């Protein structure tokens, strides 16, 4: 949930607010780095006066991607000692994907702090998934450069605690779509069909709803901010239903040789 606060009136206040929202004491992030982490390229492009020495958050986002990847990888290894490399890779990918990072950013109201150009502001930039994910990575880099890796690790522990709890409960880190595909191939030698049935919301904050089906029977429906996430959600529902009922595909839609049309050529049938 995005936190509602009064507009910020100064750069210093913006930097202090970022530090607080990351769960750190005052002075943990240098002001110039905090502002750089929040500065989108659109803000620089629309300035009427020279902005020498000021940069967008792209470089910090590049560094933050690696810092965050390292810290999350270390915590995945520490918290899930029995998980093999493939499982660790999937779990890390689920934790640091854009949708997850944007969710973390929304939880601390990071969008309110962004320095955006007027055009990006009007286009809903404060809620855009990629902008929020990039700003969060840039913020982690700003912490790393200001206070070191250990303090950046504290930020990860603070912000990602709910996601790690979900991972421990098996709610994230699984590739439900691949699991469903493998079961379908094993039981029916066929693949399920995914179809987008709805996509409400504005362009910058669209919510996709996807249905997964087999031979006309709905196996599950799911929602997500991207089609890929919605497909994963639909596959998860299908697998959960199968686990509860003991049947992956309803009997009425399961393939059967009984009642199937006879495709044997007439000449062969006559000679039978």
| Model confidence pLDDT, tens digit, residues 108-140 | 999 999 999 999 999 999 999 999 999 999 999
CATH code for position 195: 3.30.160.20
Look at residue 174 in the predicted model and tell me its pLDDT.
Answer: 76
- Band the pLDDT of 175: cuts 50, 70, 90: confident
Domain coverage including residue 236: 176-246
Q: What is the pLDDT of residues 41-68, one digit of tens each?
A: 999 988 877 676 799 999 999 999 999 9
The single residue of 36, 61, 65, 120 carrying the catalytic annotation is: 65
Which of 148, 168, 188 delimits the end of a domain? 168
Our answer to whether residue 13 is catalytic in this structure is no
Looking at residue 257, what is its pLDDT? 41
How far is it, in rounded angstroms, from Cα 272 to Cα 255? 26
The count of domains in the chain is 2
End-to-end Cα spacing for the chain: 71
Within a domain: 261 = no
Least confident range from 55-69, 200-214, 226-240: namely 200-214
Residue 129 sits in the same domain as residue 40: yes
36 and 163 belong to one structural domain: yes
Domain assignment of residue 255, yes or no: no
- Give the tokens for residue 27: 């002075």
Structure tokens at 21: 């929202």
pLDDT at 264 over 60: no
- Contacts of 194-202 with C-beta under 8 Å, sequence gap 24+, read 194/231, 194/234, 196/227, 196/230, 197/221, 202/124
115 — phi, psi (to 5°)? -95, 105
Same domain, 37 and 85: yes
Structural domain ending residue among the three candidates 139, 168, 197: 168
- 220 closest CA partner among 207, 236, 204, 206: 236
**Tokens 């249905």, residue?**
211
Q: Indicate whether this model's pTM tops 0.75.
A: no
Residue with tokens 């039981």: 187
18 confidence band (pLDDT: 50, 70, 90): very high
Report DSSP state, residue 158.
H
- Is 222 strand, coil or helix? strand
Using CA atoms, how far apart are residues 245 and 198, in angstroms rounded to an integer? Answer: 27
**Shared domain check, 220 and 102:** no
Examine the residue annotation and report whether 198 is marked as an active-site residue of this protein: no
- Of 61, 137, 209, 231, the active-site residue reads 137
**What is the pLDDT confidence band of residue 8, given thresholds at 50, 70 and 90?**
low
């Amino acid at each position: 949930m995005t936190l509602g606060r009064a507009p910020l009136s100064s750069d210093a206040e913006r930097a202090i607010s970022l530090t607080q929202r990351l769960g750190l004491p005052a002075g943990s992030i240098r002001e110039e780095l905090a502002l750089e982490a929040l500065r989108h390229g659109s803000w620089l492009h629309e300035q009427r006066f020279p902005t020498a020495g000021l940069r967008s958050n792209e470089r910090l986002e590049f560094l933050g991607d690696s810092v965050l990847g390292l810290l999350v990888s270390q915590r995945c290894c520490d918290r899930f000692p029995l998980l093999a490399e493939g499982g660790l890779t999937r779990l890390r990918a689920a934790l640091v994907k854009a949708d997850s990072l944007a969710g973390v950013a929304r939880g601390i109201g990071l969008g309110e702090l962004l320095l955006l150009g007027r055009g990006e502001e009007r286009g809903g930039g404060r809620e855009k998934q990629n902008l929020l994910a990039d700003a969060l990575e840039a913020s982690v880099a700003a912490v790393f450069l200001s206070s070191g890796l250990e303090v950046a690790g504290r930020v990860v522990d603070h912000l990602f605690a709910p996601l790690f709890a979900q991972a421990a409960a098996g709610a994230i880190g699984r590739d439900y779509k691949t699991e469903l595909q493998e079961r379908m191939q094993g039981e029916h030698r066929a693949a399920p069909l995914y179809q987008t049935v709805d996509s409400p919301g504005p362009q910058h904050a669209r919510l996709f709803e996807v249905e997964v089906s087999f031979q006309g029977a709905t196996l599950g429906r799911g929602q997500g901010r991207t089609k890929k996430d919605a497909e994963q959600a639909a596959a998860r529902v299908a697998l959960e239903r199968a686990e509860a009922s003991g049947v992956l595909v309803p009997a009425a839609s399961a393939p059967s040789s009984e009642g199937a049309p006879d495709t044997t050529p007439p000449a062969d049938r006559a000679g039978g």
